[in-house]
């Protein structure tokens, strides 16, 4: 079946540091891939997505590239801000819905 594996958190960074959150997946075929973010006290919201191999999704300074050869979709940001503190979920779309990873908490200090 489909599955998503994310690096364990929390990831603790200082403001303006470089961020990488690793995500790998197992799936049949070529699923669409997503990163969702959950800010404190809020619901999950879509951050970015990629629908085919070598696509790069980007939003709010975050990027992730769909790598078919390594079955990965790592999330990166060049310079994090305190407001980026949240839980980040990698997900893949199967036939009809999403399968999520366990989430990675990011804590950014001033």
From 19-27, 58-66, 71-79, 96-104, give the range in contact with other proteins by CB under 8 A: 96-104
Residue matched to tokens 């959150």:
21
CA distances from 99 to 22, 23, 33, 41, 94 (A): 16, 13, 10, 22, 7
Q: Pick one of 13, 49, 75, 77: the residue that binds other proteins (CB under 8 A).
A: 49
Does 45 engage in binding with other proteins (CB under 8 A)?
yes
Does 100 engage in binding with other proteins (CB under 8 A)?
yes
Q: Pick one of 28, 29, 40, 43: the residue that binds other proteins (CB under 8 A).
A: 43
Q: Pick one of 7, 27, 98, 107: the residue that binds other proteins (CB under 8 A).
A: 98
Residues contacting residue 90 through CB under 8 Å, at least 6 positions apart? 4, 6, 21, 23, 25, 33, 34, 35, 73, 75, 100, 101
Interface positions with other proteins (CB under 8 A): 4, 32, 34, 41-46, 49, 89, 91, 93, 96-103
């Amino acid at each position: 079946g489909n599955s998503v594996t994310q690096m364990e958190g929390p990831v603790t960074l200082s403001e303006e540091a470089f961020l990488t959150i690793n995500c790998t997946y197992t799936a049949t075929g070529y699923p669409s891939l997503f990163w969702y973010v959950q800010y404190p006290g809020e619901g999950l919201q879509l951050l970015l997505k990629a629908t085919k191999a070598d696509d790069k999704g980007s939003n709010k300074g975050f990027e992730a590239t769909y790598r078919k050869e390594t079955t990965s979709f790592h999330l990166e940001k060049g310079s994090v801000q305190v407001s980026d503190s949240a839980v980040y979920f990698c997900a893949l779309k199967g036939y009809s819905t999403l399968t999520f990873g366990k989430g990675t908490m990011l804590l950014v200090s001033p």
